[in-house]
Amino acid sequence: MSKPNLEVTLREITKENWRDIIRLKVAPHQEQFVASNAVSIAEAHFNPEVAWFRAIYAGDVPVGFLMLEDDVAQQEYFLWRFMIGEQYQGHGYGRKALELFFAYVKTRPGADAVETSCVLAKGGPGPFYEKMGFVYTGKEENGELVMRREL
């Protein structure tokens, strides 16, 4: 299957596009690894002091969602949520979206690294994160293994 070469962008979630974003779902076997976009958007609205969140678009098509825990006071930055809709996986959109995400985080005060966490399980996102430069730190948080990527 050929991979479309569409420009990937991170866009604000608005009253015009939020329904499209909450309709995006990961594959059934991936649901244990990430909260729904509806839950993530609700969490973002209840944590406005640290949540920075965006829809991931390929061209004009919404394909995913990501959220940053943007803790400027502690100068700590955490990839809080990341998902690509099931039908859009394997096209390079996730890689391009994380490159844009890393570029954004680099603009934040004192940002020299970003962390995330994941469940170590078959079908989990760990191998993808490793390809994107994250390494396991040996720390655990809420039953998930913490990973770090230097910027």
* pLDDT tens digits, one per residue of 54-78: 999 999 999 999 999 999 999 999 9
1 located within any domain: no
- Domains identified in the chain, total number: 1
The Cα–Cα gap between 145 and 123 comes to 15
Residue-number span of the structural domain to which 126 is assigned: 8-150
CATH number at residue 47: 3.40.630.30
Q: What is the DSSP string of 43-62?
A: HHHH-TTTEEEEEEEETTEE
Question: Angle 140-144-146 (CA atoms, 0-180°, nearest 5)?
Answer: 55
- pLDDT digit string (tens) for 100-149? 999 999 999 999 999 999 988 888 899 999 999 999 999 999 889 999 99
Q: What share of the chain is helix, strand, coil (3-state, %, to 5)?
A: 30, 35, 35
Residue type, 90: G
65 located within any domain: yes
| Nearest of 30, 29, 54, 61 to residue 40 by alpha carbon | 54
